[in-house]
Amino acid sequence: MSFSPAAGGAGRYAPSPSGDLHLGNLRTALLAWLFARSSGRRFVMRIEDLDRARDAGNAESQLADLASIGLDWDGDPVWQTDRGPAYEAAIEQLRERDLVYECTCTRRDILAAPTAPHAPPGAYPGTCRDRSDAERAAARAAIHPRLPALRLRAQDLQAPGELTQMEIPDRLLGTLHGDIDDFVLRRGDGTIAYNLAVVVDDAAMGIDQVVRGDDLASSTPRQVLLQQLLGLPTPEYAHVPLVLGPTGARLAKRDGAVTLRQLQDQGAKPEQVLTLLAQSLNLTRDLTNPEETVSATQLLERFDAELLPKTPWVWNGSAAASAISTTASERE
C-alpha cells in the first residue's frame, strides 16, 4: 500500500483498538482534529492494531464514537497490519548500514545488567550489540524456538560509548530532550515495535503534524532519530496534557463513567460530551447559557492553540456525569 502526500500535509489520530475510547482519548482526538483542520491540513485515521490482543471490532466502535462527536477524516482508515512489507523494508535499509543487531535479552536480563553512569533507568546496556557471528548463533540456539529481537544500533552515533542525544521542538511542551539507547525495532515474537511503525506510517501518509498525549513525548526522540536515519521528514509535534482520574492517576475504567457509551447510558448526548471536552480546553468562552452545547464546527471557528491549558484535566466522574445527565433529563 502506498500513499501520495497532499500539498499542505496532514494530521492524524491513531487509536489502538483495545476497547472503547475514554474521555482522554476523545479529547486528544478532538485536539488532533482541531490542530489539523484549523491549519488547512488533511486529517487521517490510522488503526494501530499490530498487537495481537487488539480487536478489529473495537476499532469500528471507536470510529463511530469519533464520528458521533462531529469528527471527520479524509479517506479510509489505514490499518497497520496491512503495512508489514513497509516496516521490513525500513529494517532492511537500516541493516544495510550495519545499524541493526539481534538481541536475546529478557527484561530481567536488562534490569539486572550494569548500565552506563548517566544512562536513564531501564536503558539497554548493550549486552548483545558487539557479539561475534558465533556468539550470536549460540545465543539464538539457546532461546530456540523463540526468535531474537532486533535493536537499532543507536548508541555511539554521536560519540563512542555515549547515548545519542536529541532535542525536538514541541508546540506545547517547548523543547523535548532525549538520551537514546539501542531500542527495539522488531520484537522476538515478530511484532514491529511502535517507534518504527509510526515513523514509517507517518511518512507514507504525508503526516507533517503529530498531536498526541504527553505520555508519548518520551518516545519522540527515538522516532526523530529513526526519521533522520531513514531519510524521512520530521513532523511538527504537539503533546497535549492527559486526562487524570480523581486520584491523580491516568484516567481508567475504575473512575466511573469515562467512555462516551457509558455517559450515554446515563442520559448524556454526544454533543454534551463534546461540550464538556471543549470546556476543559478553554474553548467555550463565548457561551452565555450554561446549558448551551457546541459543535465540532463551532469549535474549529474559535480554536486557538495559545489558549489551551498546559496542565492535565482532572475528571471527577461522578460529579461531572451527574451534571450532564441532570441537564439531559431537564431537557426531555
Known binding residues for ATP are 253
**DSSP one-letter string for 162-215:** --EEEEEEETTTEEEEEEE---EEE-TTSPBPHHHHHHHHHHHTTB-EEEEEGG
The whole-angstrom distance between residue 241's C-alpha and the CA centroid of its chain comes to 13
Half-sphere exposure of 303 (CA within 13 A, CB side): 19
Bond prior to 114 in cis (omega within 30° of 0): no
Q: Which helix (H) or strand (E) holds 86?
A: helix 84-95
- CA 76 – CA 206 distance, rounded (Å): 14
Q: What are phi and psi of 22, to 5 degrees?
A: -95, 180
Detail the residues annotated as belonging to a binding site for L-glutamate.
12-16, 48, 194, 212
Detail the residues annotated as belonging to a binding site.
12-16, 48, 103, 105, 124, 128, 194, 212, 253
- CA 176 – CA 166 distance, rounded (Å): 8
Detail the residues annotated as belonging to a binding site for Zn(2+).
103, 105, 124, 128
- CA 89 – CA 84 distance, rounded (Å): 9
- CA 108 – CA 259 distance, rounded (Å): 36
